[in-house]
Amino acid sequence: METDIILLGYDLVLNRMDMKGTKIDSDTFPYPDHPSSSEQSHYNLVDTSPVASTEKQPQKACLSLIDTSTISWQFSTSPPSTFILMGIPGLEPAHVWISIPFATFYIIGLVGNFMLLFVVGKEQTLHKPMYLLLCMLALIEIGTSTSVVPKALCIFWFNLKGITVGGCLTQMFFLHAGSMMHSAVLVTMAFDCYVAICNPLRYTTILINTRIAELGPVGLLRSLFFIMPLPLLLSRLPFCADHVIPHTYCDHMAVAKMSCGDITVNRTYGLVTAFVVMGLDLMLIALSYSLIIRAVPRISSKTAYQKALNTCTAHLSVMLMSYTAGLFSTLIHRFGQGIAPHVHIILANLYFLIPPMLNPIIYGVKNKELRDKVGKYTSRMCSHWATDFKSV
């Protein structure tokens, strides 16, 4: 009975619009299917002509029913309960193959960073500012990559694309906050390198372990101050119907672009934050290394010169990887309309895969002291496993 009333009211509205010469298209009313002529003859149980005064009241009731049901359904802006992460649009058939390098890079990164944390924690001789900074970098990279890669692998392997709104905003916060803390650690590492090479006699008084340990809370507060507005700005936006995110994780701009509201504030704040914070960090790093490059040729000892060169090369390699991928992803979201979406998404994911995998390798190769300690513990574990295997 309720369906008959709705269809009758739908016919009445169409007849009235038709008599007024109004053009009717399929999007005028969001009813699933327009009734056919035979169905209209079935449902038109009363005369729809506006002549008889006794029929005006039923027509008003039918129009009121349509206004309160179908129109409110079309323009509802209630907040969604879940978002859908699509993975890499356009490459869905290759998701399983793409997952192989993703999982490989992620596992190598986890093993390398946990090995670094284990060796530095065990060896008292490595309890120095530079190695404490490396441990901070390893912890941040483990956190950021773990917040992205497992969910991406669930999409690739099991087609588990749903994520709650709270989970999406939480993931977005940790990703961007981790990236900002990562940048703060890189700035401190550049300053550490500058003091060690340009003012070696004052190194033990300027950079001490307790001062380095205070960097963690300071970097966290800076990240909270700049990143916390991002989920707050997103929470005020209306999301009409499309809750699909064409990405493997909840990036700020990827979520904002789903909104049917004005996202100018989100675009501006994200861009200003990226350029002010990352730009300032890059300026400080560039200043430190310009002073280092001027000081390195004046080092008389060949051993000290080689050590300084290896340290600076490792730092620069890590910074180039991190900042290049991060800034590229930020700019593509705003100015890269001509770039294929799957290219952008793959490059954005590599930012959370390549640096965590290569950083322990770079520092392990370039730093002789760390390399020797890692080799010692590796050979010890291998011999222990060999003994256990023989006993079995």
Q: What is the pLDDT of residues 26-46, one digit of tens each?
A: 444 444 444 444 444 444 444
pLDDT along the chain (392 residues), means of 10: 42 43 43 43 42 41 36 44 90 94 96 94 90 93 95 95 92 93 92 89 88 87 93 87 87 88 90 87 91 84 78 81 77 72 88 91 84 86 78 70
- DSSP line for 185-206: HHHHHHHHHHHHHH-GGGHHHH
- Type of residue found at 191: F
Q: Is 3 helix (H, G, I), strand (E, B) or coil?
A: helix
CA distance to 23, 47, 91, 200, 352, per residue, from 97 (Å): 51, 63, 10, 50, 18
CA distance to 3, 46, 274, 303, per residue, from 250 (Å): 41, 54, 17, 48
Burial call 273-302: b when 16+ CB within 10 Å, e when fewer? bbeebbeebbebbeebbeebeeeeeebeee
Q: How much is the pTM?
A: 0.76
pLDDT per position as a tens digit, 286-337: 899 889 888 888 887 777 778 777 778 888 888 888 887 777 777 776 676 7
pLDDT for 321 equals: 81
Neighbours of 158 (CB within 10 A): 8
pLDDT for 240 equals: 73
Instruction: Give a three-class secondary structure readout of 121-188.
Output: HHCHHHCCHHHHHHHHHHHHHHHHHHHHHHHHHHHHHHCCCEEEHHHHHHHHHHHHHHHHHHHHHHHH
Rounded to an integer, what is the distance from CA 124 to the centroid of its chain?
36
pLDDT for 284 equals: 93
